[in-house]
Chains A and B, each alone.
Chain A
Amino acid sequence: METFLQYTILGLVAGGVYGIAASGLVVTYTTSGIFNFAHGAVAMLSAFTYWQLRFGWDWPAPLALVVVLGVLAPLLGALLYGVVMRGLRGTSEVARIVVPVSVMLGFLALSTWVWDPTPRSPRLFLMFFGAGNTVSIGGVNLAWHEITAVVIAVVVALGLRFLFFGTRTGVAMRAVVDDPDLLELNAGRPERLAMASWALGAFLAALAGVLITPMMGSAMSAHALTLLVIDAFAAAMFGRLRSVPRTFVGALVLGLLGSYVIGYFPSDRWTWTGNFRVSLPMITLFVVLLFLPQDRLRGATVLRSRERYRLPSVRTAVVAAVVLVAGMWLLRGILAPTAVNHMAFGMSMAVIALSLVLLTGYAGEINLAVLSFGAIGAIIVHHFGVSGSGGDARSTLFGYAAAAVVCALVGALVALPSLRLRGLYLALSTMAFGVFVSNMLLRDITERQLPLLHTRFSIFPSGNLGVPRPKFGPVDLVAMPTFLMFLTVLFAVLGVGLIALRHSSYGRRLTAMKDSPAASATLGQSLVTLKLSVFMLSAAIAGVGGALMTAQIGSANLDRFDIFLSLTLLMLTVVGGIGYVSGALFGGIAAGVLFVALQNTFDKLGVDHPDLEGFFEFLANLTLVLPALMGVSIGRNPTGAVEKILVDFGPVRRVRPVLVAGIATVGVAYVLARNETISNWWLIVVTAVVIGVMPQAAKRWAPGPSEAAVDGTALPAADGADLPLELVGVVRPYTVADREMLDAALDVPAGKG
C-alpha cells in the first residue's frame, strides 16, 4: 500500500507538469486553430536560456525566472504568431502542420548552435530550493521543487479556468475561435487576442520547461526536452485540444500511468520497461484517438486554398524521367566516389519522399514519421531478405517485397484509428508511432526466446541494422555507381507510376477527397477505404525506400530513423512542392545531399582557413537553421519551389535560342569538368547561373505580351496562351480584354451581362 501511495504521489507531480505544458498547447490551438508543434521546442529553448542565466552566468534565480518567463518566452510566443503563424490563415492543413514543425526544427538547430550538444562538462540544471531540501509526505520524500510544481499546476489550472470564463479577455479569446470577423465587428481585436494567447502559451511552455528539466535527472538534452513536451500532446488530446480541465485530467492520468509502470513492471525481467515508460504518452495518445468521436464531415477543407498544382501528362513525365536518368548518368561520370555515395543516399531519400507526394500531395493526408516505416522496411529486409554472408551477402527481391507488404499492413494499423478524424489527428498518430518505433522497437536490442518457434530473435541486433546492397536476378548492385543508377531508375519509374496513378480514376478520387471530403462521401465514396488504401501504398513505398537507404549506408543505427529526420524530409519535400514528383526529388536531394554537402564544405573551409574559422563555423551553423527558414516560408508560398521554377521557365520553352544557349553552356561546362579542366564546383556555379539567367533572358527576348493581345482570341498574357476558358479570372484577375474574349467565345453581344 505504501508503495502504491508513493508512486501515486510521484505520478501526480509528473502529471501536474504535463498539465502545465499541455494547457499551453490548448490555449494556442483554441485561439488560432494551429497546433503548435514547436511548443516543446519553446520549452526547451526557455529551459536552456534559464540554465544559461542561472548556472552559466550565475544570475540570481528570481531575476533569471522573471527574464525567461516574464519577458523572453511571451515575447517569443507573440513573435511566433505575428511573424509566422498569422500568415497561415487560408492555407491547407498541410501547411498549418509543416510550418510549426519547421519552427520546431529551427529552434532545435538554433539550440545546438548556441549550446554545444556535447559540452565538456554536462549541463546540470538543479532543482529550485535545492534537491536535498525535501519533505516527507506519505512516506515519500518530495523535494520542495516538486511540491512547488504541483502547486503551480493547480494555480495554472484554476487561473486558466478563470481567464476563459471569468474575464472578458478570456471569453473574447474563445470568441476568436468561433468567428474572428464577428468579434472584430464587436470592437474586439482578434489578431491581438491571438497574439496574447500565443504569448500565454509560450509562457506556459517555458514554465513547464524550467520545472521539468531538473526532474529529468540527467544532463540537459535539447532533443529529449523537445520530445518530452511533445508527450503533453497526449494530455491535450484528452480535452480534444479544447477543454483545459479535461486536459489536466489527462495529464494526471498520464503521470500516474507512467509512475505505476516504473513501480510495478519488473524492470529486470522485462528489459523493455524503461522504453515502455518513455513511449507511454505516445501509446496513450494512440488509445485516446481510438475513442474520439467521429468528426463532422466538412466540405472544402479550406475556404480558399492557395495551393495549386499542375498535373503533367504521363508523356511529359516519361520524358522528364528519361532526362533525369540520363542526367544522373552524365553526372555520375564526374563525381568523386564520396559524392556518388552522398548522391545515392539522397536518391534513396527521394524515393522515401515519393511516398509523401502520394499521401500528402495527392490525398491530403499527413505522415510525420515516414522514416519509421523505412526502419520497419529495413528490419524486414535485414531479417528475411538477405542471402549469402560476409562480402557476398546481398539483399533479395523477396526481402523488399516482404518489406512493402509488412509496411503496408503496419501502415493500416497505424492509420486506422485516426482515419475517421481530421488530418491533424492522423499526423499526430503517425508521430506517436514514430516516437514509439524509435523508443521501443529500435531500442530493443536484446535477444529474446520466441515462444513456440524455439528460436532466438532480436529486432534490432546490437543497435545496428545491416542490410547489404541488393542483387536482383543477374543484376548485382553492389557497386555504388550502379546502385546510384538503380535508385535513379527506380525513382523515375515510381514517379511516372505515381503520375499515371494520379491520372487514373483512383487518382481523381483521391483529389476529390482532398478537395471536399463531404462532397466525395455524398458521391458514394468510402473515405475510410480510400484513405486506408493510399496510406498503405504510401507506407509500402516508404518501407522499400528505407530498406534501400539502409542498403546504401550498409548498416544503420537508430539515429538514421529519427523522428526529426522524418520531419525534415517532409518539410523539405513541401518546400520543393509536395504535389509534384519533382518536389520529392528536391526534398530527398536537399535532405540527403545539399545541406550535408554545404555544411561539410564550410567545416572544411574553416579548417583550411584558420583565421576565418569563426566565419565558416557561422555559415555551417546557418546551414543547419536554413532548412527551417525554408520551411517557415511555406506559409508564403505553399505550392512550393518547383511550381515557381515551372512558372519561371514557362517562357523559356517558347524562346528557342535562350533554351539552346543555356543547354549548350551547361554542356560545355560539363565537358570541361569531365576533362578536369575546371572543378565540379565551377560546373555547379555555371549551372546555377544559367538556371537563374534563362528565365530573365527569355522574358527579354520573348514575343511581347501586346503582340499576342492584338489577335482577338488570344489572352493578353505571356503564360496564358493555353488557358482554358473556365480558368480566366480564376488564376489571374479579369481584364477588359478577358471579358471581351469571353463574350466572343460565349456568343454574347458585347456590353451585355
Chain B
Amino acid sequence: MSGNGATSGGDPTGGGLVDAVPETVIETEVPPLELVGVHAAYGGIEVLHGIDLAVAAGEVVALLGANGAGKSTTVKVCSGLLPPTRGAVRVVGHDVTGVPSHELARIGVCTIPEGRGVFPNLTVRENLWMATQVTGERAELEEAAYARFPRLGDRRTQLAGTLSGGEQQMLALARALVTDPAVLLLDELSMGLAPIIVQQLYEIVAQVASDGISILVVEQFAQAVLGIADRAVIMVNGEITRVGTPAEMQSELSNAYLGG
C-alpha cells in the first residue's frame, strides 16, 4: 500500500509518486512481518538491543539511521541470515525465529541485500531462473519480469555483471517480485545510483506495495524513500528511537544522523 498521502512537505521527489490507491491499512490484521524484542549480536558484540517493529500488509516502512545504527542487521534478522540472540520474528503471526533464509524465502519473505542483489556471472535469464527455487515456472516468471521491466527483456542473454547499476537493481527487484512475496526487504536500494534512477525504482516499490505486499526499506539516503513510505522508523545505536509519519520524521533526521 503506497503511502504517498503521508508525504508532501518539502519532498522534491514526492510529486512524482502520485498513486490512486487509498490508504486501507487495517490495524487489527495480523502483520505479515513482526519483530518482538529482538536482540542480535556478531560474535559476542550485541548490536541490536531489543527491536519492536511491525509492518502491516501493503505498508511501506522506512528504516532510517546513521552508519552502524543496526539497520542492515535488522534486515538480516528478518531474512534469517542472522538468528537473533533473544526475541522473536513473526511472519503472519507464525514464529519463524531461527528459521533459515531459504525456508523464509519459500514462505514469502523476499530480500534484496545491500549492494547489487544479482549474480554477476549469470545471465539475466539465469538470474531469473534462480527465483524458481522459491516458486513458479521458469517461462512464466521470465514473462512476468520482462512485462514489468521491458529493458531486462532486451538484455536477457547478457551477464548480470555487465548491466548498469540501475538495471542490476531492476533485475534484483524483478527476481524478487515474480515470486509474489508477502514481505519484501530492501537494503540500501539506492546505493551508488543516480537520483533519477532511485526515484524510478521507488515508484516501482510504491506500486508493489499497492498490491498488498509489506515492504521494509532500509536507507541512509532518506529523502527518496520518505516520498513513498507510510511510516518512518529511526534507529540509533541498535535501538529504535522514533517512529512516526515521514513528515514528522523530516525534522528528526538531522538529530538521528548527527547524534544530538
A-to-B contact residues, CB < 8 Å: 168, 171-172, 174-175, 177-179, 181-189, 729, 732-734
Contact = CB atoms under 8 A, between A and B. Distances in A.
A181 B76 CA distance: 11
B196 interface: no
Interface string B104-135: 01100011010001111110001001111110
A381 B132 CA distance: 66
Which 5 pairs across A and B sit closest by C-beta, in order of nearness?
A733-B44, A187-B105, A178-B119, A187-B133, A184-B101
B122 A185 contact: no
Contact of A185 (B81, B121, B126, B129): B81
Nearest to B175: A186
B97 interface: no
Given A178-B120, A181-B113, A186 B130 contact: yes
B120 A185 contact: no
Nearest to B101: A184
Contacts of A729: 45
A188 B44 contact: no
A182 B105 CA distance: 11
Given A181-B81, A185-B101, A187-B106, A172 B121 contact: no
A188 B122 contact: no
Nearest to A167: B129
B120 A183 contact: no
Contacts of A187: 102-103, 105-106, 133-134
Given A184-B81, A186-B131, A186-B133, A732 B122 contact: no
A185 B120 CA distance: 16
B113 A185 contact: yes
Contact of B129 (A171, A177, A178, A182): A171
Contacts, number: 72
B221 to A, nearest CB: 22
Contacts of A181: 81, 101, 113
Contacts of A177: 121
B130 A171 contact: yes
Given A168-B129, A187-B106, A174 B134 contact: no
In this complex, the member of B113, B117, B120, B122 whose beta carbon has the largest number of chain A beta carbons within 10 angstroms is B122
A182 B119 contact: yes
Interface SS, A side: helix
B134 A186 contact: yes
Contacts of B138: 168
Contact of B113 (A171, A174, A178, A182): A182
Contact of A183 (B44, B100, B130): B130
A171 B117 CA distance: 16
B102 A184 contact: yes
Contacts of A179: 119
B102 A168 contact: no
A734 B44 contact: yes
A174 B111 contact: no
B12 interface: no
Contact of B45 (A168, A178, A734): A734
A601 B102 CA distance: 53
A734 B42 CA distance: 11
Contacts of B175: 186
B196 to A, nearest CB: 26
Contact of A733 (B45, B117, B120): B45
15 contacts: A168-B132, A171-B122, A174-B119, A178-B119, A178-B121, A181-B81, A182-B119, A185-B110, A185-B111, A186-B130, A187-B102, A187-B106, A187-B133, A188-B102, A188-B130
A172 B133 contact: yes
Contacts of B131: 186
A186 B131 CA distance: 6
B220 interface: no
A175 B130 CA distance: 9
B169 interface: no
A175 B45 contact: no
B243 to A, nearest CB: 23
Given A178-B119, A178-B120, A733-B43, A184 B100 contact: yes
Contacts of B102: 184-189
B2 interface: no
B113 A168 contact: no
A178 B133 contact: no
Contacts of B134: 186-187
Given A171-B130, A729-B45, A186 B120 contact: no
Contacts of A178: 119-122
B121 A186 contact: no
B79 interface: yes
Given A182-B113, A184-B100, A189-B102, A172 B45 contact: no
Contacts of B121: 174, 177-178
Contacts of B79: 185
Contacts of B118: 182
A732 B45 CA distance: 9
A446 B106 CA distance: 69
B79 to A, nearest CB: 6
B61 to A, nearest CB: 19
Contacts of B100: 184
A559 B131 CA distance: 55
B126 A171 contact: yes
Nearest to B160: A178
A733 to B, nearest CB: 3
